[in-house]
Amino acid sequence: MTAERLSKERLRLWLRMLRVTRQVESTLRERLRTEHDTTLPRFDVMAALYADGDGLKMNELSRRLRVSNGNVTGIIDRLVEDGCVERIAIEGDRRATRVCLTDAGRASFSKMAAEHERWINALFEGVAEEDAHHIGGLLHRLPTPLSDST
C-alpha cells in the first residue's frame, strides 16, 4: 500500500518538474528572442561549443545535447548563416566535420551567458544553496543513460 503512495508521489514530483522546467524554458526563450534575437536551441548549441575550445563534431554535439543528428544539422546551418559558427573539415576523415564558434559567435555567446546566469539566479531565488545542493545530488543519480559531464 505504501508502494502505491510512493508511486503517486513520484508522479506528482515529475509533473511539478515538468511544469517548472517548461515555465523557465518559456521565460528564457522569450528573453533570448527579445533581447538577443536568438533562440534557446541556438543558445544551447553555442554553449556546448563555447565549453569546448576546439569545437565539436556534429556527432558529439547531438549526443551532448540529447537531440537527433538531423536536428543539429538545421541549427548549425542557421548559425553558420548568421556568422556565429563555422564548419571545418577534419583531416583524415572526409565524412565528419568539426564545428567551431567564430570570434563573433564567441563574443556574442559570452555576453548572453552572463545574462543567462542572472536570469536563472533570479528565477530560482526561492532555492537556498543547501537545497540546490541537495536536489542537485538527487538529480545526479536519476535517469541518465548517457551521463557525460553536466
**Which of 17, 89, 90, 104 is in the footprint of a second copy by CB under 8 A?**
17
Instruction: Using the minimum distance from each CB to a second copy, give the nearer residue, 41 or 55.
Output: 41
Scanning residues 120 to 149, which ones bind a second copy (CB under 8 A)?
A: 120-121, 123-124, 126-129, 131-136, 138-146
Q: Which does 135 bind (CB under 5 to 8 A by kind): DNA, a second copy, none?
A: a second copy
Q: Which residue has the cell 541549427?
A: 75
At 38, the amino acid letter reads T
With a CB cutoff of 8 Å and minimum separation 6, the contacts of 112 are 32, 36, 38, 43, 46
Q: Is 125 helix (H, G, I), strand (E, B) or coil?
A: coil
Q: Nearest 5°: CA angle at 117, between 111 and 120? A: 140
Residue 9 interacts with DNA (CB under 7 A)? no
Give 3-state DSSP helix, strand, coil % of the chain, rounded to 5. 65, 10, 25
Scanning residues 56 to 95, which ones bind a second copy (CB under 8 A)?
A: 66
Residues forming contacts to DNA in the complex (CB under 7 A) are 26, 29-30, 33, 39-42, 57-60, 66-76, 78, 87, 92-98
Residues forming contacts to a second copy in the complex (CB under 8 A) are 2, 5-27, 66, 117-118, 120-121, 123-124, 126-129, 131-136, 138-146, 150
